[in-house]
Structure 1
Amino acid sequence: MKEKIYNIRFEFFFFTQIAVLFGSLLVPGKIFEESVGPIFFLLNLIAGIILISKRKDLLWFFLVLLIASSAIFAFAQANGEMTLLTRYIQFGIYFAFYLTVSYEIIKQVWYTQKVNRTVIYGLISGFVSLGLIGFFIFMSIEIANPESFEGGLLILKNQSPNTLTEQLMYFSFITLMTIGYGEIVPVTPLAQKASILVGLMGQFYLVIITAVVVGKFVNQNKTNSK
């Protein structure tokens, strides 16, 4: 049973990522932000634990993150809202989680011998994780240096607290994919350099990691056809 769950680790992780990113399309904003979203994040943490379950050194680290995140969620539900301190702690937990799990996903995909559907899910999950890392980088910069980003719906961030999170998440992914619509712009040197970094991460991932997997898949098909 344990091995069967491990074999679908990338699929589970990918679908929980999609729930985190797009769950707000199905659930009203405030309810998603306060109740449903944190549950999806917890499920994503659980999926990450399954993903690294064969790494005993990381397993305890992820379990600590899961327990801490669960305690923060329970505290917020009991008090009706999350304090600024607990938000920062939760932010740090997710940042550490996605940094670690992205490295592990890339490593597992890189060293895989057989390319199958599970590996493809892992490849996609790794790319999505980079977008989330970019979001946490941008949020860190904005927290340390307010007004580092301008444009888009950021003018409404004082009226709706969720606006900043949603806009920087959006900015991270369009930067990672090098779409660059231009309605949100980094206006400080640190924010601009971070935007370059996120854009480069996306390009390096597509050019190197994706190319390696495609190369293995082509060689695998050639070997099977002989």
Structure 2
Amino acid sequence: MRFARRPGTKKYWQLLIILVMNFLVAPFLEAGLGQVFSSFLLLYAIILIVRSFPLSRIFLAVYVMIAVLAFSLEAMVELGAIPSLNQVFSITAQIIFALYLGGAAYLISQDIFRAPKITGDMVRGGVSVYLLLGFVWALFYGIIATLDPQAFSQPLLSGGSYLDAFHFSFTTLTTLGYGDIYPVSEAARVLANLEAIAGQMYSTIFIAILVGGYLSERTNDAV
């Protein structure tokens, strides 16, 4: 399968690399500065990408402010700035992060679906959206686990780490089947079902776009 190449269209490389690196280094990151640094890199990469979209300055400014707010709240939680408000800050930060990453996934997917040609960067963007879905749902699971520690078969946020939440999220997204962790509460079950459906639908639509674009290119080449 041959992809069209356009100069200066490698904007999704950085995001994909950072998302993959989050996977690789997550087991070695302890709660605290490591978690804060990882979040900073992800937010920074997304801001760079969102700036490349034809958005209004007001929207972009609000989006950046949301990122700064989410990062500040998480930093305060991870560094224990105000212990008495840790739970409130944690839930608020998770909600804002989820909306921020979800918004980025939506903008990137719109950019991909409207692309006139299939490029290697579009594929990287599509993979990034799939990974972002897993991150967003991991945050939602973290919110549920914070409000109800018994919502899952075992603690999901042990020691302040999101490793188990990511593990459960991507196990659900890829429909691999549960093993050590599974949803117990009704809210957790509903959320898990929605993620499995979203993962399957996105994969199907993305593959259909790739195949459709490939067939279209072959038809144009034949003409």
Is TM more than 0.5 here? yes
The percentage of counterpart residues that share the same residue type is 19
In the other structure, the counterpart of 1:183 is 180
1:197 and 2:191 correspond: no
Runs of 4+ in 1 over 4 A off after TM superposition: 72-77
Backbone CA RMSD of aligned residues? 2.5
- Deviates most, 115-124 or 35-44: 35-44
Q: In 2, Cα distance between the equivalents of 1:222 and 1:117?
A: 20
In the other structure, the counterpart of 1:51 is 49
Amino acid at match of 1:29: L
CA separation of 1:40 and 1:8: change in aligned 2, threshold 3 A: farther
Determine which structure has the larger helix proportion and give its number. 1
For residues 142-170 of structure 1, give each alpha carbon's deviation from its aligned partner in whole angstroms, at most 9, with x where no partner exists.
2222211004xx3993xx332xx211210
Q: Choose from 8, 15, 18 the match for 1:16.
A: 18
Amino acid at match of 1:20: N
CA separation of 1:199 and 1:218: change in aligned 2, threshold 3 A: same
- Deviates most, 8-17 or 94-103: 8-17
CA separation of 1:155 and 1:201: change in aligned 2, threshold 3 A: closer
Q: In 1, Cα distance between the equivalents of 2:74 and 2:180?
A: 33
Unaligned stretches of 5+ residues in structure 2: 1-6
In the other structure, the counterpart of 1:35 is 33
Unaligned stretches of 5+ residues in structure 1: none
Q: In 2, Cα distance between the equivalents of 1:72 and 1:155?
A: 20
1:212 and 2:209 correspond: yes
Are the equivalent residues in 2 in contact too, given 1:69–1:93 (CA < 8 A)? yes
Q: In 2, Cα distance between the equivalents of 1:203 and 1:74?
A: 34
Are the equivalent residues in 2 in contact too, given 1:175–1:198 (CA < 8 A)? yes
| Equivalence map 1:37-116=2 (5 Å) | 37-53=35-51, 54-56=54-56, 57-72=58-73, 80-82=79-81, 83=83, 84=86, 85-116=88-119
Q: How many residues align?
A: 210
